[in-house]
Structures are given as C-alpha cells and as structure tokens.
C-alpha cells in the first residue's frame, strides 16, 4: 500500500449501495488504501455532510439519488457531461472547492464496449426519460448512432429531453403509444423493474438480432431479463454500468483507471 484515500457516497436510501465494495476492490487492485463510506444524506444536508467529509481529510465523493441535481450547486466547476446531464455523480476536491463530474453515461458506454454492443450507426431505442436517460444521451450520441428514439410514459418528458440533446445528433422523443421502426439496441431506463414489472413493448420495435441492455441490475432486472429471453434477445443488466462509472470516478480521484473487467469478475463472484 502506498497511499490512503478518504471517500464517501452520499444518498438516501444508501444502505444497499455496492459502491464501498467496488471501490474497495479497485483499491486492492491498484495498491491504494481506500476508506470509502456510504453515508445517508438528504437534499438539505449535503453541504454540511460534504464539509464533514473535508474536515476528516476526504478528497472525493459520489452522489446518488436524490442528490445528483442538488450536487450541482456545490461545485465551482463542472465537466461537460455533468453540464449536459444537469446532474453530477462524482465530486473531487481541489484547493478552491469541489469539481463536479458525471461518469454515469461514460460508464454505460464503457460497459457497452466491454459487452461488444456497437453504438456507431446503430438504431437505438431508449425506454424512459428520467435522470438516468439524461445522463447517458450525450456520451451515446458522441458515438454517432444512426438515431436514438426515446419512448416514455409521459410523452412530453421524452420530447423535451430529445429537444435538449438534438444539437448532438438524430434523436426524437414520444409516448409509449408510438410505433417505432425496428431498432438494433434497446436500453431499458425506466424504474419499473423495482416494482417487478416492465413497460409494454411491442416485439417488432426490435430487430431479430437486437441486443437489450437494462440499466437495472439484481432483482429489478428480472422482468426485462425474462421478457428478452422469451423473445430470444441477448440481454445484459446494468451492474457493469455501475462498475464503469465507479472506475471512471476512481480515475478522476487517483489518476489511475482500475481494470473494469477484473472488478466485474470479482464482484460477480462475490454477489453470486
């Protein structure tokens, strides 16, 4: 061990967070002693909790629900991904204050690359127009897909999100009653899996050889996994996105990128 790093993830709820385990794995991989705590924190408590972290020698933090938008106000500077997503999931302390980053979307793109899922020239269908979709659009559009179609229960949210990102590529947003042409990739980005369900989805919205990626993982991924397998599509859950965003955050804090696939192997073994 050569150095010690004090870090935390803030959110509410937070007890389920895998981030302490993931960053512990990264630390062991790279010989960095990591003290990474999961701390329950509501929106109004964030400034005080961050100040406590700094007083204890902390140099970085992750923010999860419901703090990703609130966190913007704590930052003196934002990276492009955080500005476009209007949300921040990673903070790094410098001499003058917090720098804010959003590694969620880049983490997803890393995972899609790991899984051999091509984005360039692909027709991509995204279900859901919440915070997670806002975070993934810019990094996905940077890969130059043929188009991105967002479908959402609340059509206006899908349309306004598409409008917000339309300067970056071909993107449109509609309600769930639209009948889009077949796509190469489905990204499931609704929170419906947490209640054991998935949105109504017509099989002809996807090509026979399409891939399906669900941002949910664990139990919340099961409805989409069952549905995709029933239709013969290869499906992956979002654990790799979580590990990918964490690897990019770790790199922001230390300058070293942990091995993403080695961490996935260890985590998979730990969780199974």
CA distances from 271 to 57, 77, 152, 214 (A): 31, 36, 32, 18
We find the least distance from the C-beta atom of residue 102 to ligand NAP, in angstroms, to be 11
- Give all strands (DSSP E) within 68-128, no chain letters: 75-78, 90-94, 97-101, 123-127
Cis, peptide link before residue 13, omega less than 30° from 0? yes
Rounded distance between C-alpha atoms, residue 84 and residue 61, angstroms? 20
**Nearest CB to ligand NAP, comparing residues 79 and 104:** 104
Please tell me which residue in 49, 68, 143, 144 is annotated as part of the active site.
Answer: 68
Q: Buried b / exposed e across 151-190, counting CB within 10 Å, b at 16+?
A: bbbebebbbebbebbeebbebbbbebebebeebbbbbbbb
**Nearest CB to ligand NAP, comparing residues 131 and 258:** 131
We find the least distance from the C-beta atom of residue 2 to ligand NAP, in angstroms, to be 29
We find the least distance from the C-beta atom of residue 108 to ligand NAP, in angstroms, to be 7
- Which residues are at the interface with ligand NAP (CB under 6 A)? 104, 128-133, 152-154, 157, 189-194, 199, 215-217, 220, 238, 241-242, 245
We find the least distance from the C-beta atom of residue 157 to ligand NAP, in angstroms, to be 4
**Nearest CB to ligand NAP, comparing residues 70 and 133:** 133
**Nearest CB to ligand NAP, comparing residues 170 and 192:** 192
We find the least distance from the C-beta atom of residue 236 to ligand NAP, in angstroms, to be 11
**Nearest CB to ligand NAP, comparing residues 4 and 102:** 102
Rounded distance between C-alpha atoms, residue 244 and residue 135, angstroms? 14
Rounded distance between C-alpha atoms, residue 213 and residue 89, angstroms? 21
We find the least distance from the C-beta atom of residue 112 to ligand NAP, in angstroms, to be 12
Cβ-based neighbours of 24, under 8 Å, separated by 6 or more:
34, 36
Rounded distance between C-alpha atoms, residue 105 and residue 134, angstroms? 9
**Nearest CB to ligand NAP, comparing residues 189 and 228:** 189
Question: Which residues on neighbouring strands pair with residue 89, listed in sequence order?
Answer: none
Q: Buried b / exposed e across 259-268, counting CB within 10 Å, b at 16+?
A: ebeebbebbe
> Residue number with the shortest CB distance to ligand NAP?
130
Q: Is 207 noted as a catalytic residue in this protein?
A: no
Q: Which residues are catalytic?
A: 68
């Amino acid at each position: 061990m050569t150095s010690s790093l004090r870090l935390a993830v803030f959110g509410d709820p937070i007890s389920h967070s895998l981030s302490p385990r993931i960053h512990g794995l990264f630390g062991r991989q790279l010989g960095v002693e990591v003290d990474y705590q999961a701390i329950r924190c509501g929106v109004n408590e964030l400034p005080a909790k961050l100040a406590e972290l700094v007083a204890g020698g902390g140099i970085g933090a992750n923010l999860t629900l419901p703090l990703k938008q609130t966190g913007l106000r704590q930052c003196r500077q934002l990276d492009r991904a955080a500005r476009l997503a209007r949300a921040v999931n990673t903070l790094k302390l410098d001499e003058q204050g917090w720098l804010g980053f959003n590694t969620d979307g880049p983490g997803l793109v890393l995972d899609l690359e790991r899984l051999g899922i091509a984005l360039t020239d692909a027709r991509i269908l995204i279900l859901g127009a919440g915070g997670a979709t806002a975070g993934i659009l810019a990094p996905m559009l940077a890969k130059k897909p043929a188009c991105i179609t967002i479908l959402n229960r609340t059509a206006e949210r899908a349309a306004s999100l598409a409008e917000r990102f339309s300067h970056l590529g071909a993107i449109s947003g509609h309600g769930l009653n639209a009948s889009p042409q077949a796509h190469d990739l489905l990204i499931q980005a609704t929170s419906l899996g947490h209640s054991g369900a998935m949105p109504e989805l017509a099989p002809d919205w996807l090509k026979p050889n399409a891939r399906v990626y669900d941002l949910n993982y664990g139990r919340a991924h099961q409805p989409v996994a069952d549905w995709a397998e029933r239709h013969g599509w290869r499906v992956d859950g979002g654990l790799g996105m979580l590990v990918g965003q964490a690897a990019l955050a770790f790199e922001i804090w230390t300058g070293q990128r942990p091995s993403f696939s080695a961490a996935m192997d260890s985590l998979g073994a730990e969780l199974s």
